[in-house]
Chains A and B, each alone.
Chain A
């Protein structure tokens, strides 16, 4: 298992290199000049040239890339050219917000998705099944920002039950923090809940038709035991795959959700940085998100081993 992980980690190196070049080129080749954006309408030819030189943007692109890459290898992602904030620090201060949002959204997705999926499978073609299917499809098809705005309109504006946005760190005020996080995690988790629910349903239906379930039934086991011990455990495997793959999607969804609910997370950081053409920040954040994505895929593979003993990485 350790060897497997080590091999996968080594394989990541070329992926990261190619990715960093691609991101570097993409942001630098996008029309738009950070210096002009920063100076706004106070720009003059001289101030543009002076600032460009001060930021090293007058160097040829390959030189700029190598300079950045050498520093990045040493763990130094540089500083924002707009706010002068170190990139690593910018990511780390915003990461807890996005992590909390992602974890809570995942929790929402599991809490809603798993039971509805199970119920739908067990009560196939009943109104419960149709109800849960409708709910799941709505969750999948409603974009998170739209659902977010709906939630704000209903829960904040109409019923004044929850604050419409903002952020308080959990350690400062846990209650307020959770109150502020309810709507964002619902908005972000809804689509995933739908996917999990559908996946759980179809996967469980398949398992319930399997021979060993029939055997279990013929042994006279109670239905709950059959479902919980035998069926659900085996039906979970595809669900785990989905959950793993969707971790990256959650981070992507966080971009919109954080904007709607004004959460100071990594998603907002990347959006703001792209608009400002803050090259080092965009490169740093994308690199970081890519790492998270590949590592979460790796983690999914590892978890397989535990959920399904038939899968082994030892060879």
Chain B
């Protein structure tokens, strides 16, 4: 693994690996199949509360063969590079994305990849920083007079691409639109805790929450918080998805479905001097090897869809640059804790102890990335590097089987998606657990069918990851709380319920870290999910691409990217 210097000293080295390499439609969604690792960026939105200083600079781009070409390097060479080279303006960046976007309207339905387009078109009041903290964006600053109230002071003179002003009224308009039930916005449930938005003066806007809700800022740093032109919304309604107007560094030119989406530099961008690029063209190329060929032949400059098995060859190719940073999601096995053999905690423990995570990392992920110990990824301020990963222990696994009154093992189904990587992981696990007598039958389903099986609770174990959110709450609540949308395993634990309630209503970050660590231990002790892998965020580009920063949320941001001719 290469030099990833993830800032915090305790952070286990590198991550790396695959990332939503699997094809298009999967990326559509938000989950990550282990396989494809897909951490699909699909959603990961939120971001954490303030940055706590540490900074796992998730951006360690390790430009393997080309140290000087890294963009954000948290590495030494890179730092040097950024200080000496002055960014050039102009040029067209052609980016291969793993699937076509669903739309450009963040307040409507969206796929994982769409979020990387939003970062170019829109700004929110706040944004996630590279280190997962929350930093100002359209809001120059904010205050919290009490834990349920946020008062934002807006940047002056910000214009939308259509020339209208982005002021407090526009901000209120957007949140009101999302909350209006007749618009059926896909974001409505994300900001359900928002009581009201009040315009104090043109530069000041006040948000009142129904209750204390610690992840709020992280939620509005993502899709729910982007500010769109009210004029465009009034004019186009839901068809805004074909006529997006925001305040972002790039403005919409055209979207030819299945072929390309073109954005051009917004000359009136409020941060003067930015962006550097004249144009970005996003091209959906679903097959990752075809995409790589396009990169090698310079038909594209930037690649978002890498097969883990290609990483070694990318690193060794001097005409390519490999970018890598930490991720926010995790991969592993969803377990049905309500019915079937795995409703028995001892049998879940036996299964977990029988799995050799080291071997999975080596064989399925080509050694790139890192073994997961729990739901909180190394990029997070709540990450605990000292928390141990589960090691394979067949003797203990057999003991657990005996405790679970199945000393000779049991049979179970293991469902996964149709990617080759998905099958590979499940076959490895199937072989690993056989010696203790656990007999798994693998069933492969396409992604849509797999989601259905999940929400219907029709599985014993399911190989599927979570794309991750920047606030750790988003990595735990949907999956482990009773009634959580992705609580596929029908998991129920009163301690977990209480702890989730506490972390959501505690604003102090140090206290939240303690609660999250308790949550992590409880979930793991109960084997509510088998954590196996943290996938990193990885990209490949041509050497001309400079100034790019890898962020753990997996979204591509090209505001400060430039091309060396």
Contacts and interface: CB of A to CB of B under 8 A. Distances in A.
A83 B99 CA distance: 14
A157 to B, nearest CB: 6
| Among B42, B448, B449, B453: residue with most chain A CB under 10 A | B448
Contacts of B486: 41, 43
A291 interface: no
A167 B257 CA distance: 12
28 contacts: A32-B448, A37-B447, A37-B451, A38-B110, A38-B186, A40-B42, A41-B30, A43-B485, A44-B485, A46-B189, A84-B103, A156-B297, A157-B297, A163-B297, A166-B259, A166-B283, A166-B294, A261-B290, A262-B283, A262-B284, A264-B256, A269-B258, A272-B99, A275-B24, A275-B25, A275-B447, A276-B448, A277-B448
A172 to B, nearest CB: 11
Interface stretch (A47-55, A63-71, A234-242): A47-55
B29 to A, nearest CB: 5
Interface string A155-184: 011001001111100000000000000000
Nearest to B256: A264
A241 B448 CA distance: 40
A269 to B, nearest CB: 6
Nearest to B285: A262
A85 B42 CA distance: 22
Q: How large is the interface on B (under 10, 10 to 19, 20 to 34, 35 or more residues)?
A: 35 or more
A218 interface: no
A262 B260 CA distance: 10
A254 interface: no
Contacts of B289: 149
B256 A42 contact: no
Contacts of B189: 42, 44, 46-47
Interface string B278-316: 000001111101100110110100000000000000000
B252 interface: no
A275 B28 contact: yes
Interface of A: 30-34, 36-48, 50-51, 53-54, 82-85, 90, 93-94, 149, 152-153, 156-157, 160, 163-167, 259-262, 264-265, 268-269, 272, 275-277
B238 interface: yes
A90 to B, nearest CB: 7
Contact of B448 (A33, A42, A166): A33
Interface in B37-68: 42-43, 45
Contacts of A83: 102-103, 241, 257
Contacts of A153: 293
Interface in B143-172: none
Given A32-B449, A83-B241, A164-B297, A260 B188 contact: no
B490 to A, nearest CB: 14
Interface string B244-276: 000000000000111100000000000000000
Given A40-B112, A84-B241, 7 more contacts: A30-B449, A40-B110, A41-B485, A42-B186, A50-B188, A165-B285, A166-B294
B362 to A, nearest CB: 28
A180 to B, nearest CB: 10
A48 B478 CA distance: 14
B257 A50 contact: no
A268 B257 CA distance: 10
Contacts of A90: 257
A308 to B, nearest CB: 41
B188 to A, nearest CB: 6
